[in-house]
Structure 1
Amino acid sequence: MDMMFEAYLTHEANSKSEDIPATTEPVWVLGKKYSAMHNLEEIRKDITSRLWFTYRKGFIPIGDTGLTSDKGWGCMLRCGQMVLAQALIHLHLGREWRWTAERSCRDMSYRTYLRILRMFEDRRAAPFSIHQIALMGASSEGKAVGEWFGPNTVAQVIRKLAVSDEWSSLVVHVAMDNTVAIGNIKRQCFTPPRHIEGPSGIMDSKSPSWRPLLLIVPLRLGLSEINPLYIKGLKVCFTFKQSLGVIGGKPNHALYFIGCVGDEVIFLDPHTTQPTASLPEEKSYIKLDQVEATDNSYHCSFASRCHILGMDPSVAVCFFCPTEKDFDSLCSQIQQQIVLPERQPLFELCSDRSCHWSPSDESCSSTASLLDDSVKFSTKATMAEEAACIALEDFDRQFDDSDEDFELLG
């Protein structure tokens, strides 16, 4: 097991000098505000608790490609895994849950955490493995296994894979055309998941409740570099409690940005190659040392940082809303802190949209009044409506060339 940590420890040693700076400016990590002068250890605990997915080597070949490592091509796929894993941690364990290396397998929260981690293992059967993401990219997005993804592509793949996760019943909505359509999202979140059945084996007639939402907004913030007009709005996104960070990177270098301090962004870097590692079956969890070495390799003690202008302009901003109230609050914050104050906001809000629709100031109603009314939808949503929502997003993408617009990050 000693070899398991060689790259991991090297990464820690190199990253310590790039750790949180000594500053009086607030430090934001996934919507939580810290003081670098007074909360340094809390910041590091928060960062360490994020699941850190990196390149791996020695796993079962992906499909018939013969590829047993994602080194050199899988960094954006790993960033997508980190965002999705963080959504599941939020959902099943809460934002304040903290990981420690010394846990008991009798601890139910730790067992839940291990269940989440197993979903991302490097094996075909894991629902969110590098295998599943790469193969879904090939079958639905036209990206050959081993080809780099852009932020929009990995978001679309996550959206399709999440449908199979019955445990979480997560709705992944990818907002295209720089527009968050509130009505479409709410209809999708109030649609019952496909697996819900009543006592007789048919759909339960009880009114559907809100399904947790992972909202991903792919954006292009410049041509070859970020337009300074967008810096304030991008930084504001990290301050929302619903923040799940930003998928993006530096040119040709995909990264998962989890926060900011001043004009710098804080990120987790997947560019460390570790041996593939698997947890034993849950029934085999007898002693902690059976899972400790593998578990530790999924956590990074020190994040890195870079100036926000050093980011590639192709990004995807991510938010998690476990309740309808959280989503309404997010929309209100976006309207008040991003849309209204900015001459050229990061993205827009609108009440609704239909097929092959392009946003404009005239077609978007007053979002502020819409939020005051707290848009509600009929409780008679059906499974067919969920399928229609997914079909609508795919239909819209026929007219969207954003895959070409996004610079692919390696």
Structure 2
Amino acid sequence: MDIALGNIACVTYESGMVSIEDFPTDKGPVWILGKKYDMKRQRHEAKVDVVSRLWMTYRRGFANIGGTGPTSDQGWGCMLRCGQMMLAQALICRHLGRDWRWSRSKPEENYIRILKMFLDRKDSPYSIQQIAQMGVGEGKSIGMWFGPNTVAQVLRKLAAFDNWSNLAVHVALDNTVVQEDIRKVCLASPTDPVKAPCESSECSRVLPNGTAEDTNCGAGAVSKERWRPVLLFIPLRLGLNEINAVYIQRLKRCFTLTQSLGVIGGKPNHAHYFIGFVGDELVYLDPHTTQPSTSTDKWGFLQDEGYHCEHACRMSIHNLDPSIALGYYCQDEADFQAWCRDIQQVIKEQDMSPMFELTEERPSHWPPFDPGHSSMEPSFEIRELDEEPTYDSDEEFELV
């Protein structure tokens, strides 16, 4: 591992002042996206994990969105950038694995391919341009602030065009996760039809694992459904104006599941991508830094240092705005079943209200579910979880 970690630390905000400090040793272990780190023995590993996550920030100097729109997302694009970070983590899990770590000197081909999908260009599938323009269909004109539910819905629609990842994206509705809906999404549109072997002994042979392989004919070709990896967004409101204290411990436990992609949300006026916690503090990546737009040079080389943050931030979980969206990635059906089992233990606590409902079947008053439809939302109105804040750019940083 060739990551220089001398300057990696945590940034904490107290009384409007910014201070840089290392992960504390007196508040217990640090959890980062389903992985637990003992700060007395695994401090270095935790830092490498944090710096390896893709960090999306405000950018300036890109082509006008829609041809005549803004050339920077400073002041309005923070939730869009947080959505990019969560999706990028899902793609890393999909193509590189959760244990992948960033290398400055030897970037992997799939890593570069993932990163290029988020460049600020209209032809990048998950660019700020694509997200902003797709948001118009969700009632958000270009330059408007998104809430967690809106950015989740937009990313769900954009993922349908990403044939390489073949990722199913599902957005839970009305604080309810319906297992049968997710199964339908994951089994829809198989990209790799599976051939059943021809029964002729001349056309098939037995592999070492005991299965038969069709060697030279297509007589047994059939379409077999395959389970696609799934990114699950769960938009929630855990209180009115502030997070309800009964949810705090359960929210922290959400980060401990191996399928965790973290949380998008924030504090009033600022969206953040939360990747873990230590004690009662949330660890997050902050998009409120403005960097020049990045593109590849004429040789296809990409400067990627600006997509990795050496200063993770921390804030008290009590300061979290109650409107959030949880994210989870399940690689296959067994992984999804394990998540269903484990999340039940997380969201419920004695007789207290659960964070959300996990049901096997769709509620009877909901309309039928069609995984192939362009919109997977019920016909009843879905209330956006957030009010549009007024931004104070004084708290933003700019890298030149």
The interval holding the TM-score normalised by the smaller chain is: 0.7 to 0.9
Question: Aligned ranges for residues 387-398 of structure 1 at < 5 Å?
Answer: 387-388=372-373, 391=375, 393-394=376-377, 396=378, 398=379
Aligned 8 A contact 1:19 1:302 in 2: no
Partner of 1:386: 371
Partner of 1:156: 153
* 1:297 partner SS: helix
Deviations 1:83-141 (A, max 9, x none): 0000000000000000021216xxxxx11100000000000000000000000001x10
1:407 matches 2:387: yes
Aligned 8 A contact 1:24 1:36 in 2: no
Amino acid of the structure 1 residue aligned with 2:154: V
Aligned equivalents of 1:267 and 1:356: distance in 2? 38
Partner of 2:357: 348
Shift of 1:208: 1.2
* 1:173 partner SS: strand
TM-score (structure 1 length as normaliser) = 0.81
Partner of 2:30: 27
Aligned equivalents of 1:171 and 1:120: distance in 2? 18
Aligned equivalents of 2:27 and 2:194: distance in 1? 55
**Higher percent of residues as helix:** 1
Partner of 2:230: 213
Aligned 8 A contact 1:15 1:304 in 2: no
Shift of 1:246: 0.1
Aligned 8 A contact 2:175 2:356 in 1: yes
* 1:386 partner SS: coil
* 1:387 partner SS: coil
Aligned 8 A contact 1:19 1:305 in 2: no
TM-score (structure 2 length as normaliser) = 0.83
Partner of 2:165: 168
Shift of 1:280: 3.9
Aligned 8 A contact 1:260 1:266 in 2: yes
* 2:65 partner SS: coil
Shift of 1:196: 5.1
**Higher percent of residues as strand:** 2
* 1:63 partner SS: helix
Shift of 1:354: 5.1
Q: For residues 228 and 122 of structure 1, do their structure 2 counterparts lie closer, same or farther at Cα, with a shift above 3 Å needed?
A: same
Partner of 2:248: 231
* 1:241 partner SS: coil
Q: Count matched residues.
A: 356
Equivalent of 1:242 in 259, 262, 268 = 259
Aligned 8 A contact 2:11 2:314 in 1: no
1:74 matches 2:42: no
Aligned equivalents of 2:194 and 2:243: distance in 1? 51
Aligned 8 A contact 1:16 1:302 in 2: no
Aligned equivalents of 1:268 and 1:103: distance in 2? 24
Q: What residue ranges of structure 2 are gaps of 5+ in the alignment?
A: 1-6, 196-220, 392-400
> After the TM superposition, which of the residue ranges 333-342 and 37-46 deviates more from structure 2?
333-342
Aligned equivalents of 1:352 and 1:224: distance in 2? 32
Q: Percent identity among equivalent residues?
A: 52
Amino acid of the structure 1 residue aligned with 2:231: L
Larger-Rg structure? 2
Shift of 1:224: 1.0
Q: What residue ranges of structure 1 are gaps of 5+ in the alignment?
A: 1-7, 105-109, 359-383
Aligned 8 A contact 1:225 1:312 in 2: yes
> After the TM superposition, which of the residue ranges 52-61 and 344-353 deviates more from structure 2?
344-353
* 2:261 partner SS: strand
Aligned equivalents of 1:342 and 1:88: distance in 2? 37
Aligned equivalents of 2:307 and 2:364: distance in 1? 41
Shift of 1:223: 1.1
* 2:311 partner SS: coil
Aligned equivalents of 1:241 and 1:119: distance in 2? 25
Aligned equivalents of 2:50 and 2:194: distance in 1? 41
Question: Aligned ranges for residues 331-342 of structure 1 at < 5 Å?
Answer: 331-339=340-348, 341=350
Partner of 1:297: 306
